Amino acid sequence: MKSLLRLIPYLRRYKKPLYIGLIAIIGSNIFTAVQPHFVGKAIDDLKYGLEAHALNSFSLLYYALIIVGFTLIAGIMSFITRQTIIVTSRKIEYDLRNDFLAHLQKLHYSFFQNTPTGDLMAHATNDISAVRNVLGPGIMYPADTIVTFIMVLTMMILKNWQLTLIALIPLPLVSFAVYKLGKLINIKFQDRQEQFSKLTARAQENLSGIRIIKAYVREDYEIQTFRNLSWDYLKKNLVLARYQSIIWPTMFLLVGISLVLTIYFGGVSVIENKMSIGTLTAFFAYLMMLIWPMIAFGWVTNILQQGAASMKRISKILDTIPEIRNSENVDYSIKSINGDIEFQAVTFKYNDTQTPVLKNINLKIPAGKTLAIVGYTGSGKSTLVSLVPRLYDVSEGKILIDGRDIKTIPLEILRANIGFVPQETFLFSDSIANNIAYGVNDADIQKIIYSSDTAQLSKDVNEFPKNFDTVIGERGITLSGGQKQRVSIARAIIRDPKILILDDALSSVDTYTEEAILKKLKEIMKNRTSIIISHRISTVKDADLIIVLHNGQIVEQGTHEELLESGKIYKDLYNKQLLEEELEKL
């Protein structure tokens, strides 16, 4: 339950409506709690009037009008309660959901590599909804229950304190039962939520990988896997429901015991003329009013336990500290960069591995120059360029930009000056124009067209039904691989970055288009630092400096001509590609 204390700052934002709601609860209960008193008065007047054959219909009308009037006022107060507390809970849900997403956006890239997307989706939907119940019904009903209990108990004591004590005998058993069952419900609810995360993750993977599933004819396998996960989710739901279902009968049983005790001892008092029939009737009414607080107590316990379990899961994410962030050493006076890059004895290894991916990298890239990186698959090329925008931080050594450690440059300034085309292209289910302009705030159609021309995309776009306004499918599914890469290149170019990184960005385009793009990019690259990763020698041969990575180390470096003369791996790659070209011609 400690996890729910994290919600206090959210509650403080909406103190005024919450106070109004609590006052309305008190007002509603005042006008509700006095009604049985007038019912008892009316019954006593009716009894005495019938016995004396002098029934006063005016007094009955008087009591009826009072009860109706008080009921109307209590109803208005209840309406105000819901319009304040429940509405506030929706606003806090909105804030919490936004804060959750904002925190996710700050987390490091490796966090998302190790956390299933479906799991995060479950947190953002199911768990936050459970927490919302704590803030709405979880506040309104406990407050209503406590106020009702206090007021009704006061009226019962004033009526007959001995009978009140007898009627309350089962109450300690209520508290004990709710405490024991509440702990079990918390555990079982957490198990169910974890299974829901697995179910969501599998569904998300199925939808994202539908082409692979169909290509490998794995529909039946995926259906069965999902059915098994669903069955486990059903079983965990049934276990949770079993524990939840025990609370309600327990509450009714204990309330029933109270009614039996009241009927017996109250009836004896009426027979012995120690209590009027009207007082006993009012006492019964008060006891019936206590049934809801007892039931609500069990229901609210469920809500609080479920909310606490969900908040604990959410808190685990919120408590994750971004590994890559602005530290106390950041110089916020830096507003731009020129693009001079230097690697000084850089070594890097992933958190879950012991073997370094990069080893003792020493490299200088002067501002405005072009570096090309080649090497066999798995040599560490993509990892190396990912260190520049700080998608990862170095394990040893440091990277300098303009002579400053990149950790001293504000993260937002660093990344705002980098145009990064990753190996895996991601496009949003939006228009082509919005995908190209994603990284800038002031893109007009002329800039979009210019960047598209450079990426050799405009010709393709002009053939689409709505040109740049054409909406592409999820992850750009309606585009070919080459079109996706060119959209991604245009997205990087439109930013006019000081550093341009192309991570195998031309692998899906044909040789003719590649040459046209490179020709255009030469103009773009003149005044900016560029890093190009490619498996094609034709893509990198004109770079100012070419390095060859092998097993995470720079084993060769120089110009195209120098590496052909002295290099081994580079020359081997070059010869293989020449052979492939010859075979294609044949």
Residue 306 sits in the same domain as residue 360: no
Q: Residues 422, 487: contact at Cβ < 8 Å?
A: no
Residue 47 sits in the same domain as residue 157: yes
Residue 260 sits in the same domain as residue 195: yes
Please give the mean pLDDT across all residues of the chain.
81
Domain count, the chain: 2
> In this model, does residue 276 exceed pLDDT 80?
no
- According to DSSP, the residues that pair with 545 across neighbouring strands are 371
More confident residue, 130 or 280: 130
Burial of 226 (C-beta count, 10 Å sphere; 0-12/13-18/19+): middle
Domain boundary among 318, 352, 381: 318
**CATH value at residue 400:** 3.40.50.300
* Mean pLDDT confidence for 298-321: 80
**CATH value at residue 158:** 1.20.1560.10
Residue 360 to residue 348: CA distance in whole angstroms: 9
Q: For the range 314-317, what are the long-range contacts, defined as Cβ-Cβ under 8 Å and sequence gap of 24 or more?
A: 314/96, 314/100, 314/123, 314/127, 314/128, 314/131, 315/3, 315/6, 317/100, 317/103, 317/104, 317/120, 317/123
Residue 216 sits in the same domain as residue 364: no
Residue 331 sits in the same domain as residue 300: no
Residue 357 sits in the same domain as residue 242: no
Residue 203 sits in the same domain as residue 343: no
Residue 6 sits in the same domain as residue 47: yes
Domain boundary among 292, 318, 344: 318
Domain that holds residue 395: 327-417+537-586
> In this model, does residue 443 exceed pLDDT 80?
no
Q: Order of strands across the sheet with 341-348?
A: 358-365, 341-348, 396-401, 404-405
* Mean pLDDT confidence for 388-415: 88
Domain boundary among 318, 349, 376: 318
Residue 161 to residue 154: CA distance in whole angstroms: 9
Q: Residues 503, 418: contact at Cβ < 8 Å?
A: no
> In this model, does residue 173 exceed pLDDT 60?
yes
* Mean pLDDT confidence for 521-547: 82
* Mean pLDDT confidence for 291-312: 75
CB atoms within 10 A of CB 32: 22
> In this model, does residue 310 exceed pLDDT 80?
yes
State both tokens at 27: 């007002």
Produce one character per residue of 380-419: b if its CB has 16 or more CB atoms within 10 Å, e if not.
Answer: bbbbbbbbbbbbbbbeebebbbbeeebbbbebebbbbbbb
pTM score, whole prediction: 0.71
| Residue 324 per-residue DSSP state | S
Residue 209 sits in the same domain as residue 299: yes
Residue 173 sits in the same domain as residue 144: yes
* Mean pLDDT confidence for 273-283: 76
Residue 284 sits in the same domain as residue 336: no
Residue 243 sits in the same domain as residue 213: yes
Indicate whether 511 belongs to any domain: no
